[in-house]
């Protein structure tokens, strides 16, 4: 039996973030923290989804840009992509919940590949919105994929969530 090969593709925002009702500076984004926990639990390969155009440092400005991108159905260019996802048996997809869904750069990433026969395990960090409509959006964006219900982790609890994240990652 061969070992399953996992990709952990994630978008994360460091710097100013909304945590427990306050804007705080994070040295590492919550989603990246959780993606690293998944990699540790599964031996999967990390891939950071990162946009060419950086979001504004200021949290409020960033939310306005994100809202405009969502309204415009923008597909921001990515700094790098994978040639293919064919070698992976399954993909853990990590992202923060922005305006009830994924950041638009995650859509750019998803739309690049053929997801037929792939399993996708969404992982969302949030400050109260849970998964929002993201799982429905992933199913719509990745026809042919088997998309799980996913796991939502409150951003403020990300650093303390290793046991929960690890158990979830190993269970799928």
DSSP string covering 103-157: -HHHHHHHHTS--TT-EEEEEEEESS-TTTTHHHHHHHHSTT-EE---EEEEGGG
Counting DSSP H helices and E strands in the chain, the numbers are: 5, 8
CA-CA-CA-CA torsion sign (129, 51, 67, 104): negative
Label residue 2 by pLDDT band (50, 70, 90): low
- Residue showing tokens 């540790």: 40
CA-CA-CA-CA torsion sign (159, 46, 111, 116): negative
Label residue 19 by pLDDT band (50, 70, 90): confident
Q: Where are the alpha helices (DSSP H) in 43-58?
A: none
CATH superfamily for domain 6-171: Flavodoxin domain (3.40.50.360)
| pLDDT for position 172 | 86
Mean pLDDT to the nearest integer, 40-60: 95
| pLDDT for position 1 | 46
| Separation between Cα atoms, residue 151 and residue 124, nearest integer Å | 6
Nearest to 85 by CA among 7, 146, 169, 2: 7
Mean pLDDT to the nearest integer, 45-61: 95
The per-residue pLDDT for range 149-167, each reduced to its tens digit, is: 999 999 989 999 999 999 9
What percentage of the chain has pLDDT greater than the value 90?
A: 88
| pLDDT for position 91 | 97
Nearest to 130 by CA among 97, 162, 156, 163: 97
Q: What is the pTM of this model?
A: 0.95
Please determine, for residue 70, whether its predicted confidence score (pLDDT) is greater than 80: yes
Q: What is the dihedral of CA 13, 115, 128, 163, to 10 degrees?
A: -80
Q: What are the φ and ψ backbone dihedral angles of 15, each rounded to 5 degrees?
A: 90, -145
Label residue 3 by pLDDT band (50, 70, 90): low
């Amino acid at each position: 039996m061969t070992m399953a090969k996992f990709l952990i593709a994630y978008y994360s925002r460091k710097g100013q973030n909304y945590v427990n009702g306050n804007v705080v500076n994070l040295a590492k984004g919550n989603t990246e923290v959780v993606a690293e926990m998944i990699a540790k639990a599964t031996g999967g390969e990390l891939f950071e989804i990162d946009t060419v155009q950086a979001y504004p440092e200021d949290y409020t400005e960033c939310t306005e840009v994100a809202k405009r991108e969502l309204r415009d159905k923008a597909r921001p260019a990515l700094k790098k992509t994978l040639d293919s996802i064919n070698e992976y048996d399954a993909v853990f997809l990590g992202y923060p919940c922005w305006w009830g869904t994924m950041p638009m750069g995650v859509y750019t990433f998803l739309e690049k590949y053929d997801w037929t026969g792939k399993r996708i395990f969404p992982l969302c960090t949030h400050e109260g919105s849970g998964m929002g409509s993201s799982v429905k959006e992933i199913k719509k964006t990745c026809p042919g994929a088997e998309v799980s219900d996913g796991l939502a982790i409150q951003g403020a609890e990300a650093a303390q969530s290793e046991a929960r994240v690890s158990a979830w990652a190993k269970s799928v």
